[in-house]
Chains A and B, each alone.
Chain A
Amino acid sequence: MRIQALGVEIVLAIEDPKLVEIISPLLAHFAKEQGESRAVVEVRGHGPWQIASPASTGVVDSRPQALSGVLTAINLTAVAGTPYFACHAAVLTRAGRTLVVPAPSGMGKTTLTAALLRRGWDYVSDEALCLRWDDGSIVAYPRPLALSEWAAKRLGDPEGVRGDGERILLPEALGGRPSFEASRIGHIVCLVRDGSSADLTPILRPIHRADAVQELLRRSFNHYRDPVAALRLLADTTKGAMAWRLRLGDPHLAAEVLTQDTV
């Protein structure tokens, strides 16, 4: 099996046919054409499963763990090898506006993304904002979403495949659809959380665009390759965008606030 993620052509060599059967539909939205670089993610065995990629190796004992492990290996391989500028962010589009939500892992990007998909946004990525260095255009990275069971229950219990303590699904399961042609960035939303804030009312406040550019640069995977070019790229591609800080509370309410205020 061959996919292309973030400009990296990834060959998936999986021995377990059952795992191939589970994972193939989940990779439906990845492009199939050749990438600019190439890597192999290999999974040996039928239980336990040995997962090896340029970015990580490991052995797992269950198929759900193997599924999550393969998806993680694909993600790490793509992020490590991408020829594009990439930073940790969710990206969605609606009505010709692109919304970018930079945040580290564990902040609630995927849950917020899922809630926005429920409200009719189109899916670009829950993981990375990727920009071509030459023209700043957005490269879609519509990987499968991995929701915690808590988030899945909260978001209407969408159907998915069981992963390692998570439910893995495509945007369609949430009523959304992938978008491969994101327009210019219209809004950047920086997340903050107040401890155990899942039940709080979200608060959206405008901030200076420089603070949003700082957050995007801080969340970058590869700006170190050329920090000045990365700074200029972010300054240019966010020109005219509105910048916000969102206290992320209840994901449904947060999605409602964002949809009202940014479309």
Chain B
Amino acid sequence: MKPAVKPVLSAVTVDVDGRACVYSPTRNEVLFLNQSASDIWWLLESTLDVPGLVDALAHAYGVDPEVLAADVHQALAVFADAGLIDPGAPA
């Protein structure tokens, strides 16, 4: 199992009715995540690795994991670019 991707400690998340609004200290701005990006973000609180994230979301949405994998990787790349997750994390 690969190491889990985790939010950086300095990221501050506010939950607005299920949507994640995340302050990025790197950019000094708030990222307002859409619902699917929020679902990924909330799963970062778990101990899942990236394949585990994809499987969990695919199960929740009732879709094929292969269909979802690209979207999850894209979201993680956005999080990494905003300094919200460890840049060395396996996005």
Contact = CB atoms under 8 A, between A and B. Distances in A.
Interface of A: 208-211, 213-214, 217, 224, 227-228, 231-232, 235
A214 B14 contact: no
Interface of B: 12, 14-17, 19, 21, 23, 28-30, 32, 35
Given A209-B16, A228-B12, A231-B21, A214 B28 contact: no
Contacts of A209: 16-17, 19
- Judged by DSSP, the binding face of A is helix
Given A208-B19, A210-B21, A227-B23, A235 B14 contact: yes
Nearest to B31: A214
A210 B15 CA distance: 9
A231 B19 contact: no
- Among B12, B28, B30, the one with the most A-chain Cβ atoms within 10 Å of its Cβ is B30
Contacts of B21: 210, 213-214, 231, 235
Contact of B32 (A211, A224, A227, A232): A211
A208 B23 contact: no
Contacts of A213: 16, 21, 32
B17 A227 contact: no
B16 A235 contact: yes
Nearest to B24: A227
A214 B29 contact: no
A210 B16 contact: yes
| 9 smallest beta-carbon distances between A and B, as pairs | A210-B19, A210-B16, A214-B32, A235-B14, A228-B12, A228-B23, A209-B17, A235-B16, A231-B30
A53 B23 CA distance: 35
9 contacts: A210-B32, A211-B32, A213-B32, A214-B30, A217-B30, A228-B12, A231-B30, A235-B14, A235-B21
Nearest to B16: A210
Nearest to A211: B32
Nearest to A208: B19
- Among B15, B16, B21, the one with the most A-chain Cβ atoms within 10 Å of its Cβ is B16
B24 to A, nearest CB: 9
A211 B23 CA distance: 15
Contacts of B16: 208-210, 213, 235
